[in-house]
Amino acid sequence: MASDAIPPVPIDSPAPAGAALQHGHWRMRANLASGLAHLEQFLSRVGFDRAPWLVVAFAGGIAAWFALDNTAQWLALLCGLAVLGSAALLLLREDGRLPYLRQALAAMTLAMAMGCALVWAKSALVGTRAIERPMVVTLAGKVLGRDDQPAEHRVRLLLAAREPGTGRAIRVRVNLDADNDLLGLTEGAWVQLRARLMPPAPPMLPGGYDFARTAWFSGIAATGSVVGKVTILTPGDSGAGLGRAQRALSRHVRERLDGSPGALAAAFASGDRGAIAPADEEAMRNSGLTHLLSISGLHVSAVIAAIYFLAGRLFAAWPWLALRVRVPLLAAATGAAAGIGYTLLTGAEVPTVRSCIGAVLVLLALVLGREPLSLRLVGVGAFLVLVFWPEALVGPSFQMSFSAVIAIVSLHDAAPVRAFLAPREEPWWARQLRHVAMLLLTGVVIELALMPIGLFHFHQAGVYGALANVIAIPLTTLASMPLIALGLLFDTIGAGAPFWWLTGKSLELLLALAHWTAAMPGAVSSMPAMGEGAFLLFVAGGLWLALWSGRVRLLGLVPAALGVVLLVTLRPPDLLVSGDGRHVGITGEASELLVLRPGRGGYALENLTELAGMSGDVRALDDWPGARCNADFCAIRLNRGGRDWQLLLSRGDDLIAERALAAACERADVVISERYLPRSCRPRWLKADRRVLAQSGGLAINLANGEVRSVAQGQGHHGWWNPPPDRKPARRRPESAEPNAGTPATMVTGVP
């Protein structure tokens, strides 16, 4: 035994280097094993449902495909996930001491890889390359869809045609003036027309709406407007069809009910929002009620619930049927059929289909005796939607609808809420007060869940939406929609007038509520474009709060709080430059946004003010005392980061002497132009002319820290964006610039 003893080591003698290294290695392994064991204990102890987390991983793979830039990165992600998942499966087979952790790793890596591969495959299969350049051409094609928009005095047509020059089969969306509308211009018609076409527009500014991405997945290669008349080669079929039925229903409702209430009633009945006045739509949006205008979960659920209830009562009143067939099964089947029919009638848009899937799953759960509202059910609905429309994940509609449903289910599943709503002996008025309080709390929670999404996509968030929805949702579901249904039903015998009168009064009340709420001080909060990092913090915090149970869910408040800190410290860019260089916005100089071309409002100015986080008021540079402008150029000096920055902005089309232009550029720190500028124009820091902007897209510039964000930086090499090789704006290091004492305006514009 003595020979096996370890010889003593003197205390003051250093341990061998190899022994110390081996000891550190074993200690690291022990710490890793201890950490994994603690994580395993956590997963085995805390109560949670695995299915929703798998859907989150599936959605994470889809989001990763959009976030990564190119094929090499997508392949690297898939390979990394495959290695991690395979390693977890092999370890699971060899050792069963960590079953929860290994199952989670294997399942979630597989789900994430499936999501990434699915959206990549759909992009490759259905994505349509846009036309190369703007053009005015004569097209002959087939009408695939028609959307009447009386409020805009136009008709929107979706055509299947051939691309001029290449003969490639493409889809084209064009707007036709309502005065040039023709009988027979419906789905299935073959037409010939002359149109001004444009490639689908990318975001005008970093953080803006990306229509090019939407068009890519919709198969639309060009958009534009019809020039002149349309020639119908073959009229469309005048028989039955979902599109024709939808338009006929919309026209019938508007004939029975005039004005704004009729437009809203048509939207509720058929999903046709084309007749809603812009002022009414803006009021609904600013009051937090715009979700009522889209056929979504509220409308589909109301229709299915009403049919389910009525069918159950009618079938139960038939003894022969009730004794032979399960009445709840028949009622559920009838409600599901009504929901599917309503979805198809209202256009079968993705949000409506998503809502219909969720409602049918609820009916199925009721038939099977399962809990109808659960996070597992929400996860199944989200998974089915993402399987068919993975691109919907990055859109506000999917995010808002599922965030609202998750918030409702999680709130009502919380132990304090269940205790608050538990039946008890109490007066009827006390019970009703509890329900009203719960309705108000639900509205507040939904608004909190939707606010980050609204700020990220629309750069605005309503403040009084929760209070307005407490009145608007019951008014819509319990009064307006049933009255519309009764009006349509009694119109079959010519007795629907009283119901339409009541419908009009209920919708007038809804519109009055919307306009009153939108007009209140601070009804809409505007903020600059939120970064992806802050948005991901809100998403992570919200999912953690929703999908865990017990006290551990409160940890989700940590990332949400960090997101709030980032929002509070968010500042608008000093300069916003559109992708064509024609529109420039300057912040920080006045309460309004200073703009190069004020125009008469429109899409460009709306984008500038929204992404700057301002109320919408703009002021022309011509009217600003600190700017010097003439027909060709504007010059303005800004003090940012403790130094002066001299800006030179072009806005004219006249030829300028190159030597004078070069001299002016040398004295400017930043030059922005919608024209091609000669290489002799070399400003001290940044040159963004037509050549550079064609590569970079729109710009958001922060002068204080020298940060320049471009649209191209967020696009990668996805099919809807084809960046030139050089994607970076031509700029020098800010340190090389010196404070400017003169004004370059005198060199080019002659402004003293």
Q: pLDDT for 362-395, tens place per residue?
A: 788 777 777 667 888 888 888 988 999 999 999 8
617 with 685, same domain?
Answer: yes
96 with 178, same domain?
Answer: no
pLDDT of residue 114: 95
Residue pair 589/626 in contact by the 8 Å Cβ criterion: yes
> How far, in Å, are 633, 698, 723 from residue 674 at the CA level?
11, 11, 18
CATH of the domain at 218: 2.40.50.320
Residue pair 160/169 in contact by the 8 Å Cβ criterion: yes
Strands 593-595 and 618-620: parallel
**Weakest mean pLDDT among 269-273, 381-385, 415-419, 561-565:** 269-273
pLDDT at residue 586 greater than cutoff 50:
yes
CA distance 572 to 462: 20
Q: Residue written as tokens 């003051």? A: 12
HSE value, Cβ hemisphere, 13 Å, CA-based, for 271: 25
Summarize pLDDT for 204-214 with one digit per residue, the tens.
999 888 999 99
pLDDT of residue 24: 58
Q: What is the mean pLDDT of residues 726-747?
A: 42
pLDDT of residue 176: 93
Q: What is the mean pLDDT of residues 339-357?
A: 75
**Would 176 be classed as within a structural domain?**
yes
**Would 431 be classed as within a structural domain?**
no
68 with 171, same domain?
Answer: no
pLDDT of residue 720: 92
CB atoms within 10 A of CB 422: 8
Query: According to the per-residue pLDDT averaged within each range, which of 112-121, 237-246, 343-352, 488-497 is highest?
Result: 112-121
Buried b (16+ CB within 10 A) or exposed e, 379-401: bbbbbbbbeebbbbbbbbbbbbb
DSSP string covering 629-673, please? Answer: E-SSEEEEEEEETTEEEEEEEE---S---HHHHHHHHHT-SEEE-
- Residue 741: which pLDDT band, with cuts at 50, 70 and 90? very low
Q: Which residues contact 23 (CB under 8 A, 6 or more apart)?
A: 15
In the chain, the percentage of residues whose pLDDT exceeds 90 is: 27
pLDDT at residue 735 greater than cutoff 50:
no
Q: Residue written as tokens 């509308």? A: 181
Name the amino acid, one letter, at 264.
L
Structural domain including 77 reads 47-126
Domain boundary among 56, 91, 126: 126
pLDDT at residue 507 greater than cutoff 80:
yes
DSSP string covering 49-115, please? Answer: -HHHHHHHHHHHHHHHHHHS-SHHHHHHHHHHHHHHHHHHHHHHHH--S-HHHHHHHHHHHHHHHHH
pLDDT of residue 505: 92
Summarize pLDDT for 634-676 with one digit per residue, the tens.
999 999 888 899 999 998 878 888 888 898 899 999 999 998 9
699 with 579, same domain?
Answer: yes
pLDDT at residue 555 greater than cutoff 70:
yes
- Residue 559: which pLDDT band, with cuts at 50, 70 and 90? very high
Higher model confidence: residue 420 or residue 47? 420
* Residue 229, H or E segment: strand 220-234
CA distance 457 to 452: 9
Q: What is the mean pLDDT of residues 310-317?
A: 85
**Would 462 be classed as within a structural domain?**
no
52 with 185, same domain?
Answer: no
Q: What is the mean pLDDT of residues 710-725?
A: 81
CA distance 264 to 480: 10
List 638's β-bridge partners, or say none: 645
Instruction: Determine the 3-state secondary structure of 148 from DSSP.
Output: strand
Global model pTM greater than 0.85 = no
pLDDT of residue 743: 40
215 with 113, same domain?
Answer: no
CB atoms within 10 A of CB 21: 11
CA-CA-CA-CA torsion for 133, 138, 143, 145, nearest 10 degrees?
40
Residue pair 164/135 in contact by the 8 Å Cβ criterion: yes
DSSP string covering 547-585, please? Answer: HB-SGGGGGGHHHHHHHHHHHHT----SEEE-TTSS-EE
Domain boundary among 126, 143, 167: 126
pLDDT of residue 357: 79
**Would 697 be classed as within a structural domain?**
yes
pLDDT of residue 729: 47
pLDDT at residue 241 greater than cutoff 50:
yes
Residue pair 419/369 in contact by the 8 Å Cβ criterion: no
Q: Which residues contact 720 (CB under 8 A, 6 or more apart)?
A: 127, 130, 200, 202, 210, 212, 213, 215, 216
- Long-range (24+ apart) CB contacts under 8 A made by 484-491 are 484/253, 484/265, 484/268, 484/269, 485/306, 487/256, 488/252, 488/253, 488/269, 491/252, 491/256
pLDDT of residue 220: 94
Summarize pLDDT for 274-285 with one digit per residue, the tens.
888 888 888 888
608 with 721, same domain?
Answer: yes
pLDDT at residue 47 greater than cutoff 70:
no
Name the amino acid, one letter, at 9.
V
CA distance 642 to 704: 8
pLDDT at residue 699 greater than cutoff 80:
yes
> How far, in Å, are 181, 333, 366, 406, 546 from residue 409 at the CA level?
47, 24, 16, 5, 8
* Residue 349, H or E segment: none
CA distance 225 to 135: 11
Residue pair 687/681 in contact by the 8 Å Cβ criterion: yes
Name the amino acid, one letter, at 137.
V
Summarize pLDDT for 595-604 with one digit per residue, the tens.
988 875 578 8
- Report which of 741, 734, 457, 712 is spatially closest to residue 607, judged by C-alpha positions: 457
Strands 707-710 and 135-149: unpaired
**Would 689 be classed as within a structural domain?**
yes
Q: How many domains, in total, are found in the chain?
A: 4
Q: What is the mean pLDDT of residues 3-26?
A: 51
Higher model confidence: residue 223 or residue 311? 223
Q: Residue written as tokens 């659920």? A: 301
- Residue 25: which pLDDT band, with cuts at 50, 70 and 90? low
- Residue 751: which pLDDT band, with cuts at 50, 70 and 90? very low
582 with 724, same domain?
Answer: yes
**Would 89 be classed as within a structural domain?**
yes
Helices (H), 317-349: 319-322, 327-345
Name the amino acid, one letter, at 701.
I
- Report which of 50, 448, 337 is spatially closest to residue 345, judged by C-alpha positions: 337
630 with 728, same domain?
Answer: yes
pLDDT of residue 706: 87
Q: What is the mean pLDDT of residues 499-522?
A: 90
CB atoms within 10 A of CB 587: 21
- Residue 359: which pLDDT band, with cuts at 50, 70 and 90? confident
**Would 611 be classed as within a structural domain?**
yes
CA-CA-CA-CA torsion for 590, 593, 594, 599, nearest 10 degrees?
-140
630 with 743, same domain?
Answer: yes
pLDDT of residue 55: 93
* Chain Cα centroid distance, residue 236: 35
Burial class for 56, CB neighbours closer than 10 Å (0-12, 13-18, 19+): buried
Angle at Cα 489 formed by Cα 486 and Cα 494, nearest 5°? 110
Summarize pLDDT for 523-541 with one digit per residue, the tens.
777 788 888 889 999 999 9
595 with 715, same domain?
Answer: yes
Domain boundary among 239, 262, 295: 239
CA-CA-CA-CA torsion for 691, 696, 700, 704, nearest 10 degrees?
-80
Helices (H), 476-556: 481-491, 497-518, 532-547
**Would 195 be classed as within a structural domain?**
yes
- Residue 739: which pLDDT band, with cuts at 50, 70 and 90? very low
What are residue 513's phi and psi, to 5 degrees?
-65, -40
Summarize pLDDT for 412-435 with one digit per residue, the tens.
888 888 888 888 888 888 888 888
Higher model confidence: residue 747 or residue 479? 479
**Weakest mean pLDDT among 158-167, 705-714, 728-737:** 728-737
57 with 199, same domain?
Answer: no
